[in-house]
Amino acid sequence: MKKKILLILFFLLILILSFIFYQNKKEQPLERIYLSEKYYKEESGEFIKVEKKELEKNKEETYILYTYNSFCSFPISCESIFKEFMETHHIDFVSIPFAEFKKTLFYPKVKYAPSIIIIQNQKIIAYLDAESNEDIERYQDVEKLKQWLEKYIYLSIEE
HEC per residue, 10-33: HHHHHHHHHHHHHHHHHHCCCCCE
Tens of pLDDT, residue by residue over 2-20, are 777 766 776 667 777 777 7
Average pLDDT over residues 17-33: 64
DSSP 8-class letter at 36 = P
Three-class secondary structure of residue 135 per DSSP? helix
- In this structure, which topology does domain 37-150 adopt according to CATH? Glutaredoxin (3.40.30)
* pTM, entire model: 0.78
Average pLDDT over residues 131-143: 90
Which distant-in-sequence residues (6+ apart) come within 8 Å of 139 by Cβ? 74, 78, 81, 114, 128, 130, 145
Q: Give residue 102's Cα distance to chain centre.
A: 16
Tens of pLDDT, residue by residue over 123-136, are 999 999 988 888 98
List the chain domain ranges.
1-29, 37-150
Top pLDDT among 17 and 110 is at: 110
Looking at the predicted structure, is the pLDDT value of residue 24 above 70?
no
pLDDT of residue 120: 95
Q: How far apart are the first and last CA of the chain?
A: 62
Instruction: Using pLDDT thresholds of 50, 70 and 90, give the confidence band for residue 71.
Output: low
Strands (E), 59-139: 62-68, 93-97, 115-120, 123-127
pLDDT of residue 14: 76
Average pLDDT over residues 71-87: 79
Task: Give the closest residue to 137 by CA, choosing from 78, 64, 97.
Answer: 78
pLDDT of residue 40: 94
Instruction: Using pLDDT thresholds of 50, 70 and 90, give the confidence band for residue 23.
Output: low
DSSP 8-class letter at 110 = -
Instruction: Using pLDDT thresholds of 50, 70 and 90, give the confidence band for residue 148.
Output: very high
Instruction: Using pLDDT thresholds of 50, 70 and 90, give the confidence band for residue 25.
Output: very low
